[in-house]
Amino acid sequence: MDVIETTLEGTIQPDGTLILDSPTNLPPGRVEVVVRSAVAPPTMDWAAFFRMMDEIRADQKARGHVSQAEESLAEIRRMDEESDRELEDIARLQEECWRRREEDERGAAGS
């Protein structure tokens, strides 16, 4: 089977249909269509993006905005400090219990 190829240009519509700029010179029948964009994809200017992000953060900071991440970290620190205090209280109570038990045992042994 001989393959006949032709290159045509066209436009893809918003609904996904393809409209050719001109008719083909191929005979009627089934065809295989390969669609290749004629427009180069945009490139990302990462330096400009990060400058913009820095500007946004600076503007937010100037307005007194506190990010959710900063709020979350502050809450975690507060919870850590509270846990530390609770553990210290538990350790003190445990020491007191051991001391009283030893005093009771010495008192019982001396009776």
Buried b (16+ CB within 10 A) or exposed e, 2-24: eeeeeeeeeeeeeeeeeeeeeee
CB 21 within 8 A of CB 27: no
pTM of the shown model:
0.38
| C-alpha span between 64 and 8 (Å, rounded) | 58
For the CA atoms of 62, 63, 69, 71, the dihedral, rounded to the nearest 10 degrees, stands at: 120
| Model pLDDT for residues 49-89, shown as the tens digit of each residue | 999 999 999 999 899 987 888 889 999 999 999 999 999 99
What pLDDT is attached to residue 48? 94
* Residue 26: DSSP 8-state: S
